[in-house]
Amino acid sequence: MSQLSHETHRPGASIPPENQEQFSSSSSFGITPSSSSVISTPNTGVSEYPPTGDSRGEDVNSSSKAEYEGESSLFAHAVFASRFLQNFINSSQNPDVSRDMEAALEGLRSAVHSGNQQFDTLDKVYPRANTIPPGSSIHNLPLPPIDKVFACLRMAKDCTQVATLWLGNFMKPSQFHDYFIKVVSPGPASEADLIIVHCGLYWLFCECSKAVSGQEAKQDYDAQSSLCQANLETVFVNFHFHHATTMDLAYAMGFACMYCLQKSKISAAWGFVSFAAHTIHALGLQHHKLPISSEGPEDKERRRDMFWTIYSAEKTLSLRLGRASNFRDQDITLARPVQSRPGDAFLAVLAPAWVSMASIQGRIYDEIYSPGALMQPAHVRTPRARALAEELKVLMQRAQQVHEQYAASKGHILGLDFHEIARRSDRVMGLCFLTLIYRSITPERPSMSEFCDECIEYARDTLQEHERCVGVINKSQGKPVFLETYINWYIIRSPFIPFIVIFCYVVETSQASDLKHLGALVETLDSISNSHAQSTFNKQRGLFRALYDVACKYIEVKSRDNSTGQVETPWSAVQQQYATEFAGTASATIGLGSLDPGAVVQNTPMTVSSHAHSRSMAGEYVSHRDRPELLEGMVDPLSLHNPVIGDVDMEMDPSGAQLWDWFNKNQSIMRMLEDT
């Protein structure tokens, strides 16, 4: 519910027909400033640029390889779940099960296979960018009329809703005003200045559109936000690599990261936030005192707010992509946001809890899912995971208290619906991370499940809390905006594995009681399938739908199978089959040599073979036809090599190797399935 949520709900009638399919959070880009505008482009002959076409894409390798990502993505978990189900089907003693499941499995294969194309050209990443005409530059882009800009700036000062949600806790409105004056005044403006102004204006017009009641005013603000969005993406396309290392650049990269997060451009967001982190390190902004500075208290407060906002976004992306963070907590001496003070805005009140949550996200990767952590034996990892879970529970309880106290005293400012949605959304996120932590803990043997009891419990709690949150959203006045923001930030961009855990649990137990929770999430995604945000959620929605459909079909087939008197396959047999299949897939993916099929069940360590690793790094291809146990049509795990492992022998205990397989096997699938 922060600056990442600048979306407006606009009737389809206001969207030009040629843009309706591409429409996301803005309308047409053909907006020309009024003749009275003093911010019109200096090159007055250029007021509207044609959309960028193939000419820009020609400069980019459209067939570039999928970039490496770790396995905290939803879609990599989905591949795990798919293989998990396939093993159960293969182990069935009734051949009718495989035949009856084929149609449902085909839908699941299609949902995952739909991401095989890699849309990584600039015109796909930034579809609203315009071509710069010869003789012009990004400094000549047309801006909204100045009277409309100042009208919105006044609204940001007078309207609490706009003031709170426009720039969040990242930048003060007075700072933005200075950047705006610099850009529209004669004289040089840097690319960083342009990013800050175009992005800030885009968010400003989006928030003002939501705050006004008149339809004509809404459409006008939507049009201005579209113009600013086109300008912003045009600057991104023409952004240069080398820049002076300044505070302005750090702010600009933070703005760019959050814009890309808002649009679910995860890889682009990581690139910008990494650039921001580099700039911060170069300037020493992470330290309590700058090396050479005479900053006053206000400047230091601004620096603190900027740093911790970028830190939080970076830690979220670190876990989301399965990559080591650019920020090490041991290197940071800058004080964290303090507890709320009288007069603090809502987002400032929540900042301490959000920063602590971001820190825990980074530690989940570092202490549990990083290659180094997984090299530790289970008896070392498990206490570490349990301690981290307890710390997260305390933080969640404290955050809920902050939500409740603020809603009780100042809930009328933004509305009780807003506060209730924010409170429940944060709880959904915390429960999701608890599920991810407990997923790393091996269940006590003998066990009827692949997951420990706490993992299943928190996965179920997450889905139930999701249902309660959506119930509040559906009753609120701002339903479309709230629902799309909630799904985009809390469901799509987080590693939402509770759905996968419950899916696997349903397959393990053949119990239908949890299907309703899976169905509720699918229903939520279906409810926005006709909105302007559907292009962002479409592939994820298709995957959740396919998993749900195949789970329903599996329960139906198994119940029919059991009614005929067939003996139920014991979990130990299925686990043994998984171990056999794991021996042929996980090892190749992480550079392991041949594994004893029984090694995953027994407690014998496994050693990395440098020869197998050299095969993996050399890119040796293994045909699917030699791997009948894999789901046909899915990405071959053997082709998704891991560049993290070095040319050294390593030992990983069985549970660590299997967890690494689950966490780090198919992360490039997320890259394929991004709407980029």
Pairing of strands 651-652, 606-607: antiparallel
The reported pLDDT for the residue numbered 70 is: 44
> What single DSSP character describes residue 440?
T
* 390 and 342 in a common domain: yes
What percent of the residues of the chain are helix, what percent strand, and what percent coil, each to the nearest 5? 65, 0, 35
* 77 and 8 in a common domain: no
Which residues, other chains included, contact 344 with Cβ-Cβ below 8 Å and sequence gap of 6+? none
Query: What is the distance between the alpha carbons of residues 151 and 56, in angstroms, rounded to a whole number?
Result: 36
Query: What is the distance between the alpha carbons of residues 449 and 502, in angstroms, rounded to a whole number?
Result: 11
The reported pLDDT for the residue numbered 570 is: 44
Query: What is the distance between the alpha carbons of residues 661 and 638, in angstroms, rounded to a whole number?
Result: 11
What residues form DSSP beta bridges with 606? 652
The reported pLDDT for the residue numbered 652 is: 59
In a domain, 325, yes or no: no
pLDDT for residue 227 is more than 70: yes
What average pLDDT does the structure give for the chain?
Answer: 73
* 651 and 637 in a common domain: yes
Which residues, other chains included, contact 184 with Cβ-Cβ below 8 Å and sequence gap of 6+? 38, 39, 143, 146
Q: Is the pTM of the predicted complex or chain greater than 0.85?
A: no
Query: What is the distance between the alpha carbons of residues 423 and 405, in angstroms, rounded to a whole number?
Result: 11
In a domain, 304, yes or no: no
pLDDT for residue 39 is more than 60: no
The reported pLDDT for the residue numbered 602 is: 32
In a domain, 502, yes or no: yes
Return the closest-CA partner of residue 152 out of 82, 235, 245, 222.
222
* 506 and 611 in a common domain: no
In a domain, 522, yes or no: yes
* 539 and 528 in a common domain: no
The reported pLDDT for the residue numbered 161 is: 82
Q: Could you report how far apart the first and last alpha carbons of the chain are, in Å?
A: 24
Which range is least confidently modeled, 111-115, 257-261, 536-540?
Answer: 111-115
What residues form DSSP beta bridges with 51? 130
* 575 and 488 in a common domain: no
Instruction: Find out whether 142 and 48 touch, Cβ atoms under 8 Å.
Output: yes
* 566 and 482 in a common domain: no
What residues form DSSP beta bridges with 651? 607
pLDDT tens column, 235-270: 999 999 889 999 999 999 999 999 998 887 888 999
In a domain, 291, yes or no: no
Classify residue 175 by burial, with Cβ atoms within 10 Å: 0-12, 13-18, 19+.
middle
* 426 and 346 in a common domain: yes
* 77 and 175 in a common domain: no
The reported pLDDT for the residue numbered 79 is: 62
pLDDT for residue 367 is more than 90: yes
The reported pLDDT for the residue numbered 219 is: 94
Which residues, other chains included, contact 189 with Cβ-Cβ below 8 Å and sequence gap of 6+? 139, 182, 183
Return the closest-CA partner of residue 223 out of 192, 202, 198.
202
Count how many domains the chain has.
Answer: 3
Look at residue 652 and give its three-state secondary structure.
Answer: strand
* 521 and 538 in a common domain: no
pLDDT for residue 567 is more than 50: no
**Continuous H helices in 114-172:** 122-125, 146-158, 160-165
Look at residue 130 and give its three-state secondary structure.
Answer: strand
Of 217, 239, 261, the residue that ends a domain is 239
Domain containing 48: what range?
3-58+129-239
Per the model's pLDDT, the better-predicted residue between 465 and 293 turns out to be: 465
Q: How far is CA 354 from CA 2, 469, 583, 634, in A?
A: 11, 19, 40, 37
Mean pLDDT on 145-153 = 95
Classify residue 361 by burial, with Cβ atoms within 10 Å: 0-12, 13-18, 19+.
buried
In a domain, 108, yes or no: yes
Mean pLDDT on 318-343 = 85
pLDDT for residue 539 is more than 90: no
Of 504, 532, 560, the residue that ends a domain is 532
The reported pLDDT for the residue numbered 21 is: 35
Query: What is the distance between the alpha carbons of residues 515 and 81, in angstroms, rounded to a whole number?
Result: 15
Query: What is the distance between the alpha carbons of residues 467 and 469, in angstroms, rounded to a whole number?
Result: 5
Listing DSSP states for 169-223 in one string gives TTS-HHHHHHHHHHHHSSS---HHHHHHHHHHHHHHHHHHHHH---HHHHHHHHH
Query: pLDDT class for 572, splitting at 50, 70, 90?
Result: very low
pLDDT for residue 33 is more than 80: no
In a domain, 271, yes or no: no
Tokens of 32: 């020309």
CB hemisphere CA count around 48 (13 angstroms): 9
* 344 and 470 in a common domain: yes
pLDDT tens column, 380-436: 999 999 999 999 999 999 999 989 888 888 877 778 888 888 999 999 999 999 999
> What single DSSP character describes residue 625?
G
In a domain, 8, yes or no: yes
Mean pLDDT on 466-488 = 80
* 226 and 86 in a common domain: no
Tokens 């610099």 appear where? 182
Query: What is the distance between the alpha carbons of residues 246 and 275, in angstroms, rounded to a whole number?
Result: 12
> What single DSSP character describes residue 512?
-
The reported pLDDT for the residue numbered 387 is: 97
Which range is least confidently modeled, 68-77, 411-420, 511-520?
Answer: 68-77
| Angle between the N-to-C axes of helices 453-475 and 479-486, in degrees from 0 to 180, rounded to the nearest 10 | 160
Of 532, 555, 585, the residue that ends a domain is 532
